[in-house]
Amino acid sequence: MNTPFRWSAIGRHALLPETTHDERARFDAIAHFVRFLAEGVTPTVKTAYDRRASEAYRRTHGADPSSREEAAAALEADPSYQAWSALRRSLMENRQLAGRMVVLRQADALAAKARELNTGQARLRLDPAFTPPRYLSAIDIHCMPGGYVTERMPDDVTGPANLDVGLYGTVGGSMGPYHDGAGRGIVEWLRQNAPDFVPRRIVDLGAGVGHNTLPVAQAFPQAEYFAIEAAAPMLRYAHARALSLGVDRVNWIQADATDVPLESGSADLVFTSMVLHETSRAALPRIFRECARLLRPGGITLHLEQPPYRGRPPFEQAMRDWDGRYNNEPFWSGLHETNLPAELVASGFAPEEIFETQIIAPPVDGGAAAERKMEDFGRTPRWYVAGARRRGADGSRA
Ligand SMILES: C[S@@+](CC[C@H](N)C(=O)[O-])C[C@H]1O[C@@H](n2cnc3c(N)ncnc32)[C@H](O)[C@@H]1O
């Protein structure tokens, strides 16, 4: 097994929490365990499914599992899946605890650093009257204590700091030193598929801590950039992180992606990256309608997610659905069952404007973003994309 994870390769910035030797060793162990689970254990679950679990299901039901629910029922009765699932959940709990321990002991220092970088900066626009959607505040998404929106002290950034530092545990170095593989992938995809595309305004919906915002902003320095995000702690951290990495052009706006405070027909690129599976079924069409409203003729919208379930074998669907069942992702299953191209059409795009594609994280210097050798059903640095390109003003593809 290759070493997936080197702390020395981590992209540093002023907001990244400090870690002790033992804390780094803990993240390192988690990263290697995650990889062992993907490469060493996941294949044994497939073997157990083929040789034992589906046979047991057939004996009871008189037929093979033919849907993800039936495949899940077969798997959940089998000790191989039970062990894999328990380890995966326990790894996620451990990763969250490890990150939380790191950030809580330096909560005041992190808040002070963010405050120092953020004070008086016009591009950070927090709205104290804004109430984040209930689906973000009601649960701790993917077992992250407090989710994205919780604030336990003034200027709290412990949630995003935990997310940032702990991501090294869950994805190793596979997204690159700055966890920006999706953003770099968007830039590369646009270069290859729309070489003449020069956006004047970019809107990044659900920008989080800005991991994937910065490479897009840096690739198109001429563009006005709006990063829309519901959670104040994320925005505080994201703005300060961006400044400390030398990116000062992004406007970080607290708003709901279903109601973006920008004029209609004003944007050339509107995208989401790993956002839709964390938004409610009711919010999804409203976000797509905002994309349709915001885009100019010739504009492009891209939505990066894990692949949809449609057309995939029941076993793979059941494995991919683990996050929906056991990782506190209430919208995961529904999103991956949704036909996003059809949803884009229902939200105001013409059928001929729609496309589906794939975006892959380009390798970074030194190969730090090397792709995992094995499919691990959810953590590889490649994304399914549902997108649309608005026809030009004359009705042509711009
Ligand atoms: C998994 S993170 C992805 C962050 C970032 N796009 C990335 O690629 O790393 C999802 C983010 O979307 C935000 N979000 C979810 N629903 C939203 C909404 N309706 N409006 C604005 N932000 C939203 C969450 O607060 C969270 O920061």
Residue ranges and CATH numbers for the domains of the chain are 7-124+131-170 (no CATH), 173-389 (3.40.50.150)
CA 208 – CA 35 distance, rounded (Å):
25
The answer to whether 305 and 364 have CB atoms below 8 angstroms apart is no
CA 124 – CA 155 distance, rounded (Å):
13
- Separation of CA 7 and ligand 1 centre (Å): 26
Is pLDDT of 382 > 70? yes
Is pLDDT of 3 > 60? no
Between the alpha carbon of residue 53 and those of residues 69, 131, 325, the distances in Å are: 14, 46, 19
Share of the chain above pLDDT 90, in %: 87
- Separation of CA 205 and ligand 1 centre (Å): 7
Q: Measuring from atom 8 of ligand 1, which residue has the nearest CA?
A: 273
Which of 204, 252, 275, 379 to probe ligand 1 with, by most ligand atoms within 8 A of CB? 275
Atom of ligand 1 nearest to the CA of 272: 6
- Separation of CA 230 and ligand 1 centre (Å): 7
- Has this prediction a pTM greater than 0.85? yes
Strands 354-360 and 382-389: antiparallel
Mapping DSSP to helix (H, G, I), strand (E, B) and coil, where does residue 226 land?
strand
Cβ–Cβ contacts within 10 Å for residue 120, how many? 5
CA 322 – CA 328 distance, rounded (Å):
10
Is pLDDT of 218 > 60? yes
For 323-366, write each residue's pLDDT tens digit: 999 999 999 999 999 999 999 999 999 999 999 999 999 988 64
pLDDT at 378: 57
CA 14 – CA 286 distance, rounded (Å):
36
175-188 burial, b at 16+ Cβ within 10 Å, e below that, comes to bbbbbbbbbbbbbb
| Average pLDDT, integer, range 46-52 | 97
What's the number of CA atoms in the CB half-sphere (13 Å) around residue 50? 8
The answer to whether 363 and 381 have CB atoms below 8 angstroms apart is no
Q: What residues are paired with 300 via a beta bridge?
A: 269, 389
Burial of 7 (0-12, 13-18, 19+ CB in 10 A): middle
For residue 272, the surrounding DSSP H or E stretch is strand 267-273
Is pLDDT of 94 > 70? yes
CA triplet 226, 148, 179: central angle to 5 degrees? 65
Mean pLDDT of the chain: 93
- Separation of CA 118 and ligand 1 centre (Å): 20
- Separation of CA 170 and ligand 1 centre (Å): 18
Q: Measuring from atom 13 of ligand 1, which residue has the nearest CA?
A: 206
Q: Determine which of 149-153, 248-252, 370-374 has the lowest per-residue pLDDT on average.
A: 370-374
The answer to whether 239 and 121 have CB atoms below 8 angstroms apart is yes
CA 172 – CA 159 distance, rounded (Å):
19
Q: Measuring from atom 4 of ligand 1, which residue has the nearest CA?
A: 208
Q: Determine which of 36-40, 80-84, 158-162, 328-332 has the lowest per-residue pLDDT on average.
A: 36-40
At position 45, the amino acid (one-letter code) is V
pLDDT at 369: 42
pLDDT band at residue 252 under the 50/70/90 scheme: very high
CA 11 – CA 281 distance, rounded (Å):
35
For 264-307, write each residue's pLDDT tens digit: 999 999 999 999 999 999 999 999 999 999 999 999 999 999 99
pLDDT at 363: 86
Q: Which two tokens stand for residue 186?
A: 């968007």
- Separation of CA 237 and ligand 1 centre (Å): 14
Between the alpha carbon of residue 343 and those of residues 62, 271, 355, 359, 378, the distances in Å are: 36, 15, 12, 20, 23
- Separation of CA 252 and ligand 1 centre (Å): 13
Mapping DSSP to helix (H, G, I), strand (E, B) and coil, where does residue 273 land?
strand
- Separation of CA 311 and ligand 1 centre (Å): 27
| Residues framing ligand 1 (Cβ under 6 A) | 133, 136, 148, 182, 206-208, 211-212, 228-231, 234, 256-258, 273-275, 278-279, 283
For 166-186, write each residue's pLDDT tens digit: 998 888 888 899 999 999 999
For 243, residues 6+ apart whose C-beta sits below 8 A from its C-beta are 117, 121
Atom of ligand 1 nearest to the CA of 182: 8
CA atoms 158, 159, 164, 169: torsion sign: positive
Which of 229, 256, 280 to probe ligand 1 with, by most ligand atoms within 8 A of CB? 229
